[in-house]
Amino acid sequence: MAELKNFPTGPLGIAVIGCGRISGAHLAAVAALPAQVRLVAAVDADLSAAQAAAKPAGAPAFASLDEALALPEVEAVLVATPNALHAEQCLAALRAGRHVLVEKPVAETGEQAAALAREAEARGLVLAAGHTFRHNAAVRHIMDNQESFGRLRTLEVSSCVKWDGPQAPWWAERKPEEGLILSLFAPHALDFVQLVMGQDDPVRVHVEAARHQSGWQGEDEAMILMAYPGRRMASVHISYNQPSVLDRKVLHFDKGVLEIEHGEILSWNGDVLVAPPEGVLIDPRAMGGRKLEHYFRDQLREFVAAVRGEVHRCPTGHDAARLIGLIDRVKASARANSAADAIDPPLDVVPG
Ligand SMILES: NC(=O)c1ccc[n+]([C@@H]2O[C@H](COP(=O)([O-])OP(=O)(O)OC[C@H]3O[C@@H](n4cnc5c(N)ncnc54)[C@H](O)[C@@H]3O)[C@@H](O)[C@H]2O)c1
Domain count, the chain: 2
pLDDT, tens digit, for every residue of 115-127? 999 999 999 999 9
- State pLDDT tens for residues 286-313: 999 999 999 999 999 999 999 999 999 9
Sequence-distant (≥ 6) Cβ neighbours of residue 23 within 8 angstroms? 16, 53, 80
| Spacing, Cα 346 to ligand 1 middle (Å) | 27
Shortest-distance Cα residue to atom 32 of ligand 1? 45
The pLDDT assigned to 351 comes to 47
CB 225 within 8 A of CB 207: yes
- Residue 50 CA: which ligand 1 atom is closest? 39
Question: For 240, left (φ over 0), alpha (ψ -120 to 50), or beta?
Answer: alpha
**pTM of the predicted model as reported, rounded to 2 decimal places:** 0.96
Cβ contact 40:13 at 8 Å = yes
Q: Residue 314 C-alpha to ligand 1 middle, in angstroms?
A: 20
Does one domain contain both 152 and 266? yes
**Mean pLDDT value across the chain:** 95
Same domain, 121 and 199: no
* Cα 269 from Cα 265, distance rounded (Å): 13
CA of 81 to the centre of ligand 1 (A): 3
Domain identity same for 18 and 164: no
Nearest CA to ligand 1 atom 31: 45
What's the CA-to-centroid distance between 20 and ligand 1, angstroms? 5
Question: Ligand 1 pocket check: which of 81, 173, 302 to mutate, most ligand atoms within 8 Å of Cβ?
Answer: 81
Q: How far apart are CA 352 and CA 347, in angstroms?
A: 9
- Write out the residue range of the structural domain in which residue 237 sits: 134-290+317-342
Backbone angles phi, psi at 96, to 5 degrees: -90, 10
**Looking at the predicted structure, is the pLDDT value of residue 347 above 80?**
no
* Edge-to-edge order in the sheet of strand 241-253: 204-210, 221-228, 232-239, 152-162, 241-253, 256-261, 265-268, 271-274
Q: Average pLDDT for residues 175-191, to the nearest whole number?
A: 96
User: How far apart are the C-alpha atoms of 245 and 326, rounded to whole Å?
Assistant: 25
CATH code of the domain covering residue 325: 3.30.360.10
pLDDT for the residue numbered 343: 77
